[in-house]
Structure 1
Amino acid sequence: MEKVVKRDIIDSNCHFVGDPILDAEARYRWPYRYNDNFTNDCEASSSNSKEEENFAKCHYRQVDVIKFHKDLVDKKCVFISELTDDNPLDCIAYKLKIVQVSPIVDLVAKNAEIPDCDFFFDMMYSPIYCTLSNLRPEGSEASSSTISRDASSDGATAVINETKVDFKKNPEMSLLDLFCGCGAMSTGLCLGAALSGVNLVTRWAVDVNKYTCESLRWNHPETEVRNESAESFLSLLKEWRKLCEKFSLLDTKNSCEEKENNSDSMDNEDFKNDEYVPKQPTSSKFEVEKVIGISYGHPENNKEIGLHFKVRRKGYGADKDTWEHITALKNCEERIRDFVTEGYKMNILPLSVSLFAVLVLFCGGPPCQGAVDVNNMISLLELAGMNELPQYLTGTTVIYDHRPLQLNVDDYQRVCEYPKKRDLPGLVIHPGNKVEFENPKEREKLPSGSPLIPDYAVSFQRGLSFKPFGRLWWDENISTVLTRIEPHNHAHLHPEQDRVLTVREVARLQGFPDYYRLFGDIKQRYIQVGNAVAVPVARALGYVLGITHQGLKKFSRLRAERPSSTSEDSDVSE
């Protein structure tokens, strides 16, 4: 018996368009379709060719890309791809105008930007990986393309006109972060500004703590991080501008073209400092190979003020680099000129002439968390829900800073004795939640002889606080970690384990992403997290900043301040 092959149901909407082409003609017109070794030179249109070849990029409709909730996408929106097609012109039924627009999150702003067209695209679709990605704008114009795609059930295809459409390029802003800390505020601002369509980049950051500078430098490699005081940095900016003017890098009246070009120009009054006289070098003279750094004040000696340069000695390595006062380098003007010129091109320091595009940020720490001093994550349940943290480290798990502070012996023994929830023996809770010792004379002792419940734990806030050595619970609100994790006067103990929260756990409570690394010893990392602004708070500020900077929306005040009253008897009730 002959086996009957079950055929697939033929779609009546799919059929060929036009007359069939002979095999010889097809091989002549499209040889690269039959020979894989054929070069791609034919893809480029030649001025000598008689027939111009059009290679179209394929665009996908939202119904083909977004299977569900496609009704939420604009009907004119399509997604460009890198797939190309070369259908001959005799197969094109009609033309469409498809333009590229910038990927703006604000729908109102995007609709105002879209010109008159049949379709628009702002993202790229990869049918191979079934993924969407943002487009990189080419200059200030959208590249024109010719597409061929299925347009209707009768097999008609479409192609767009070669049209160039101007779209608003994402404006770029530079960020100068003074008192930067570990960079939580900068990170959040840049993330939030990107959501609004503004490219905010942290160009410079200043802080006196070397560990916070190391953390920011690792997570923001594009940032010029300086470990110095804000006062020294601002003084350096003044001197930097003078140097740029001196070497004709700025179009000002103080350029060196208007000064005498003499050999002792380094003795200019702009660079003299009467308050400090540099010490005479004890070693013999050396030749400067190049200048590699600049600072106002000696980085290793706070008493030495004035402009200093870090120099590389000729014939020596980096371990012999030294900081020299500018008066000691008056014979090295050419080396200083090279350094200033290169630094000006690389924008290593901001100039006052470009401050209109620079956001100067002064940021504090814990007061920025909010009026109620509560973090981004309100409970450990929400923290764990982000991405489950392992309770115990394994050899295959790599999570930065997931380690707790090692408590001293007495504190650790206290933590082990404290119950996982309530009912600590030896205490009496009176009405009003005031805590006292049940029997002050007979108190339980630790092996070291110290009391299990220390005096300061009960006397803290006159016995009205439950924070000393308090355990957190999964569904309770968690306050900001104020730079130190010791459990003496704050509730920082894990609900089920005999330890305080790890650095990564408190960092997650502050909204830090898991890829954000911190440096320094364990206490320094807790300090960095405690001083940091919650990243979600900074992200919201960055979004509002970007929207306001572009003038897309005016935000009304969230609340009206209560009018001040001079009368002591005035009614302040609401």
Structure 2
Amino acid sequence: MPSKRKTRSSASPAAAPPSKRASRSSASRVADSAPVKSEAEEVVAASSVVKEEAQASFTDVTDGNVSDGEGTNARFVGEPVPDEEARRRWPKRYQEKEKKQSAGPKSNRNDEDEEIQQARRHYTQAEVDGCMLYKLYDDAHVKAEEGEDNYICKIVEIFEAIDGALYFTAQWYYRAKDTVIKKLAYLIEPKRVFFSEVQDDNPLDCLVEKLNIARITLNVDLEAKKETIPPCDYYCDTQYLLPYSTFVNLPSENGESGSETSSTISSETNGIGKYEVNSQPKEAFLPEESKDPEMKLLDLYCGCGAMSTGLCLGGNLSGVNLVTRWAVDLNQHACECLKLNHPETEVRNESAENFLSLLKEWQELCSYFSLVEKKVSHEKYVNLFSEDDDDTSSNEEVNSEDDNELNEDDEIFEVSEILAVCYGDPNKKKEQGLYFKVHWKGYESALDSWEPIEGLSNCKEKIKEFVSRGFKSQILPLPGDVDVICGGPPCQGISGFNRFRNKESPLDDEKNKQLVVFMDIVQYLKPKFTLMENVVDLVKFAEGFLGRYALGRLLQMNYQARLGIMAAGAYGLPQFRLRVFLWGAAPSQKLPQFPLPTHDVIVRGVIPLEFEINTVAYNEGQKVQLQKKLLLEDAISDLPRVQNNERRDEIKYDKAAQTEFQRFIRLSKHEMLELQSRTKSSKSLLYDHRPLELNADDYQRVCRIPKKKGGCFRDLPGVRVGADNKVEWDPDVERVYLDSGKPLVPDYAMTFVNGTSSKPFARLWWDETVPTVVTRAEPHNQAILHPEQDRVLTIRENARLQGFPDFYKLCGPVKERYIQVGNAVAVPVARALGYTLGLAFEGSTSTSDDPLYKLPDKFPMIRDRVSSVSSEDDV
């Protein structure tokens, strides 16, 4: 299974702040000289170096005063905290020497057992430079090196060490530039800072000045938020946690003490390590009748609907009636597929930009017709519709014949009904704007046409009827209507296949603009939750610029956020497939957790080192019991044999399910949703079990590939493999040609990856996995041949590898169906995310505030739903 190193830190935002003599540059040099490290590892290295320098800065310590030799003085003020109270509030500062030594050799201790500065006594006040009085829990600037902004902290301890040195403990605020978003800090207001769990000890004379940091409530209503910000040096409304780049609501302040048990600090993780995960399943799954009202989802860039399907399945398991109400995609075949499988969904085949423009126009129309309480500007519609009475409510009884008639070339056309609305130009004349689909009175539906609203200015009543009807049925969402927005905005500009990638300014590349559009739609609709998915290059390309941008936009909108990298195989699939997922949650909601892996998996691919702590995985060395890794045989061994030229879209199963995975994947939709969990599975048909038909030449080549593990073009006559694992022509064997006259072994196979690759015309094998399901089924440069049949994997076999239930039907030409499956989010991953989404939506007490959640055993096959289905009924 994927795992990651256990990391922790007690460092500040960029590095531990130095004393007035120390310089952070030495810490930077250490970090620079080492290999590239994650954010967590960098702060650990910096902290240790600077602390050594800080210890060396003390030149005079007497009677509670300290001087650094440059005229700076610091001293405690007032009586010390009573010994008994100090030991209760800060117990680790007063450990007995013998107890500390009993922990064993340093090499055998856990990371959390690092040396803790021992205290002689604690204080509640201190004075620096003879003029500035600091109290416990004051906010303050802390000295940074020359030319850099001072650090910002909350003073959570003031104490004298056993060697007489004077210290304060800082709990750090991060400026936006010090967080994971780095150079995208321009998205955030300069006065906004983020409170962390990270704290460390610093010489008392590092304090520079007291600050007034206002703590306010996070609010997506930016105008309302501005009114709550009092005069201050900085304001803070969010807590920043390094694991999973998490931004959440501020915890409630506890001014009583800074103890291990009552402070905002996690003594176990210290802000960097893995949190203890919650392993308790939900107390009980809610019955179907309790799942009202429904939780409405908008699926952007929906493809064939895998992401929203998985989310809804998972939400259902956690007791939430999550329903895909709206879906948008530019691909017509994908839209047809989603509508076929989700007839309840309003599916729109249009660009996301046009969809956003349509939403804005729709809100204005609803405002003009007085359908919404919160009015928005709609002057253009007041001017557009000619009327004798400006009061739209008084026109409900007015319906003159002239109001719905159009005159074109002296022929009168009467509008019978408005059928649909869109933004753009359905007539392909490049005239952007609002269009209505019109059914003409006395004409067949075949003559229905799209008309610009400007041409329907005298059809106000018909438009009003349509808008009123659409408003009531929510054919389009208004701000506040959507509970969840999910989607994977395409970012072809970061693809490794794009030779012209813009590494300096990725957002200037039109191929990456959909990320901006996705965030614009979130900002406009203000959902309770949002979930964005993308390829790992999002956090690899251009130092993770686009991933940082996505996080920055959510912060700019005042959403909570959390970023994780998940492997599909870790949730029960025979492929690895790493993807990035970004949660967003409104301040009124609980930020969803990432579900921990349920299955062991064969690791394939590289996780970006800087974002290693974002990997959704157990810590390396942590003892866990996972279900066994799934292999190709587990997923597809029960499927009927088909030929290269198979053209049927529906065939019958010819054998019983052989594995637990196969029994589950065969469940009907009702069974999978637990609507009829006690009924036996019907003898349903198998859909889309047909391959891309190979041309005659490729088919002849495939038939010559041995049916064995590792079989590929290297096994064909005329090819030999050198000591360096490169292929070369065998001079002793005459080159073989096909019936068409083309060579059996094509030249491109010999030169692929400089002759080192064994992927051309390669067979998969039963005990293997695939790196990732792809969108193209050609065998020329990838292993995609069936282990024992002379063909590529079928659409259904690929769908099985992605976790699509067998009841899910695909639409369009064969190549389009492969594309839909290859582009999809793996359904088991989406289902696991949907489960934690449902728990967050309910504010479940069975979850904690930790970033990770342990799914119930045997998830998603809980409550023995699979055992209720007789395997013999599957045939």
What band does the TM-score fall into relative to the shorter chain? 0.5 to 0.7
CA 1:109/1:401 → structure 2, altered by over 3 Å: closer, same or farther? closer
Provide the rounded CA distance (Å) in 2 between the counterparts of 1:521 and 1:382. 28
| CA pair 472-289 structure 1, distance change in 2 beyond 3 A | same
Q: Which residue of 1 aligns with 2:472?
A: 345
Q: Could you say if the C-alpha distance between residues 420 and 222 of structure 1 is closer, same or farther in structure 2, counting changes exceeding 3 Å?
A: same
Match for residue 812 of structure 2 among 520, 523, 544: 520
2-side partners of 1:344 and 1:458: how far apart? 61
1:308 aligns with 2:413: no
| Number of the residue aligned with 2:422 | 295
Alpha-carbon separation, structure 1, partners of 2:288 and 2:385: 53
Tell me the residue number matched to 1:232: 354
Shift of 1:366: 7.5
Alignment-mate amino acid for residue 376 of structure 1: L
Using the alignment, how far apart are the partners of 2:797 and 2:335 within structure 1? Answer: 22
1:324-363 maps to which residues of 2 (within 5 A)? 324-355=451-482, 357-363=483-489
Corresponding position: 1:206 with 2:328: yes
Q: Matched residues in 1 for 2:314 and 2:786: separation?
A: 32
Return the alpha-carbon distance in structure 2 between the equivalents of residues 171 and 465 of structure 1: 54
1:412 aligns with 2:699: yes
Equivalence map 1:251-266=2 (5 Å)? 251-254=373-376, 264=386
Gaps of 5+ in 2: 1-278, 391-406, 491-532, 538-564, 575-629, 654-684, 854-875
Label 1:256 to 1:239 Cα distance change in 2 as closer, same or farther (>3 A): closer
Q: Secondary structure at the match of 2:451?
A: strand
Return closer, same or farther for 1:490/1:372 CA change in 2, 3 Å cut-off. farther
User: How many Å separate the matches in 1 of 2:652 and 2:566?
Assistant: 41
Instruction: Summarize the alignment of residues 174-213 of structure 1 with structure 2, pairs less than 5 Å apart.
Output: 174-213=296-335
Matched letter for residue 369 of structure 2: F
Which residue is equivalent to 2:772? Answer: 480
CA distance in 1, matches of 2:722, 2:409: 73
The answer to whether the 8 Å contact 2:718/2:733 transfers is no
Mean Cα deviation higher: 246-255 or 219-228? 246-255
CA distance in 1, matches of 2:384, 2:409: 29
CA-CA distance at 1:343 after TM superposition: 0.2
Offset of residue 287 of structure 1? 0.1
Q: How far has the Cα of 1:522 moved from its partner?
A: 0.7
Amino acid paired to 2:635: L
Residue 298 of structure 1 contacts residue 305 of structure 1 at CA under 8 Å; is this kept in 2? yes
Deviations 1:256-294 (A, max 9, x none): 99x98996159x9xxxxxxxxxxx956833000010000
Shift of 1:390: 1.2
Residues 458/326 of structure 1: CA separation in 2 closer, same or farther (3 Å cut): same
C-alpha contact (below 8 Å) 1:308/1:323 kept by paired residues: yes
Alignment of 1:54-93 (within 5 A): none
Using the alignment, how far apart are the partners of 2:376 and 2:437 within structure 1? 26
**Distance in 2 separating the partners of 1:366 and 1:438:** 44
Deviation at residue 461 of structure 1 after TM alignment: 1.0
Shift of 1:361: 3.4
Change (3 A) 1:491 1:360: closer
Shift of 1:481: 2.6
Q: Answer yes or no: is the 8 Å Cα contact 1:433–1:464 preserved in 2.
A: yes
- When residues 440 and 319 of structure 1 are mapped into structure 2, their CA distance, relative to the original with a 3 A threshold, is farther
Residues of 1 paired with 2:378 and 2:797: CA distance? 56
Letter of the 1:322 partner, please give it.
S
Q: Distance in 1 between matches of 2:757 and 2:424?
A: 47
Superposition deviation, residue 557 in structure 1? 4.0
Report the Cα distance in structure 1 between the residues aligned to 2:718 and 2:832, rounded to whole angstroms. 47
Q: Distance in 2 between matches of 1:487 and 1:283?
A: 61
| Cα distance in 1 for residues equivalent to 2:641 and 2:382 | 71
1:136 aligns with 2:430: no
8 Å contact kept, 1:367–1:373: no
Residue 782 of structure 2 aligns with which residue?
A: 490
- Output one character per residue of 1:363-395: Cα deviation in whole Å (capped at 9) or x when no partner: 55883797768682343211136xx21114897
How much has 1:194 moved relative to structure 2? 1.1
Distance change (3 Å), C-alpha of 1:412 and 1:256? closer
Deviation at 1:313, TM superposition (A): 0.2
2:573 is the counterpart of 1:376: yes
Identity of aligned residues (%): 54
CA gap of 1:515–1:260, structure 2 versus 1, over 3 A, is: closer
Cα distance between partner residues in 2 of 1:547 and 1:418: 50
In 2, the alpha carbon distance for the partners of 1:495 and 1:380 equals 9
Equivalent residue for 1:506, pick from 798, 808, 829: 798
Question: What is the deviation of 1:488?
Answer: 0.4
Please say which of residues 506-515 and 427-436 is displaced more in the overlay.
427-436
Match of 2:555 in 1: none
Aligned partner of 1:390: which letter?
P
How far did residue 300 of structure 1 move?
3.6
How far apart are the structure 2 equivalents of 1:404 and 1:472? 15
Aligned residues of 1:470 and 1:491 also touching (Cα < 8 A)? yes
Tell me what 2:848 maps to: 554
Task: Give the root-mean-square deviation of aligned CA atoms.
Answer: 3.3
Give me the whole-angstrom Cα distance separating, in 1, the residues matched to 2:409 and 2:848: 63
Q: Deviations over 1:37-81 (max 9, x none)?
A: xxxxxxxxxxxxxxxxxxxxxxxxxxxxxxxxxxxxxxxxxxxxx
8 Å Cα contact 1:203/1:223 also seen in 2: yes
Show CA shifts across 1:439-478 (max 9, x none): 3993211121211111111211111211110011111112
CA–CA separation in structure 2 for the residues paired with 1:523 and 1:308: 32
CA positional deviation for 1:223: 0.4
Residue range with higher mean Cα deviation, 420-429 or 305-314: 420-429
Q: Say if 1:173 and 1:359, in contact at 8 Å, map to a contact too.
A: no
Following superposition, the deviation at residue 253 of structure 1 comes to: 4.2
Secondary structure at the counterpart of residue 411 of structure 2: coil
* Separation of aligned partners in 1, 2:752 and 2:566: 23
Once the two structures are superposed, what CA deviation does each residue of 1:527-566 show, in whole Å capped at 9, x if it has no partner? 111111110011111112112222222353469xxxxxxx
**8 A Cα contact 1:366 1:532, kept in partner:** no
Structure 1 counterpart of 2:641, from 391, 395, 407: 391
Q: Quick one: structure 1 residues 437 and 557, their matched pair in 2 at CA, closer, same or farther if it must change by over 3 Å?
A: farther
Q: Quote how far apart the aligned CAs of 1:438 are.
A: 1.8
Separation in 2, partners of 1:214, 1:234:
21
CA displacement, residues 466-513 of structure 1 (integer Å, 9 cap, x when unaligned): 111001111111232321100000111111111111111111111001
**For residues 108 and 444 of structure 1, do their structure 2 counterparts lie closer, same or farther at Cα, with a shift above 3 Å needed?**
closer
CA distance in 1, matches of 2:308, 2:690: 25
Q: Secondary structure at the match of 2:757?
A: coil
| Deviation of 1:109 (Å) | 5.0
The TM-score with structure 2 as length reference comes to 0.41
Alpha-carbon distance change, 252 to 261 in structure 1, aligned in 2, over 3 angstroms: farther
SS of equivalent to 1:389: coil
Is 2:795–2:818's contact at 8 Å kept on the other side of the alignment? yes
Q: Tell me, which stretches of 5 or more residues in structure 1 are unaligned? A: 1-105, 112-121, 124-133, 138-168, 269-279, 560-574
What is the 5 A alignment of 1:10-89?
none
In structure 1, the partner of 2:728 is: 436
For 2:789 and 2:832, locate their aligned partners in 1 and report how far apart those are by CA, in whole Å: 34
State whether residues 175 and 361 of structure 1, in contact with CA within 8 Å, keep that contact through their aligned partners in structure 2. Answer: no
Mapping for residues 525-544 of structure 1, pairs under 5 Å: 525-544=817-836
Identify which of 761, 765, 785 aligns with 1:469. Answer: 761
Report the TM-score, using the length of structure 1 for normalisation: 0.62
Q: Residue 522 of structure 1 aligns to which amino acid in structure 2?
A: V
Give the aligned partner of residue 535 of structure 2.
Answer: 367
1:429–1:322 Cα change, 3 Å: same
- Give the AA of the match of 1:309: F
SS of 2:791 mapped into structure 1: coil
Q: Which residue, out of 460, 474, 481, partners 2:752?
A: 460
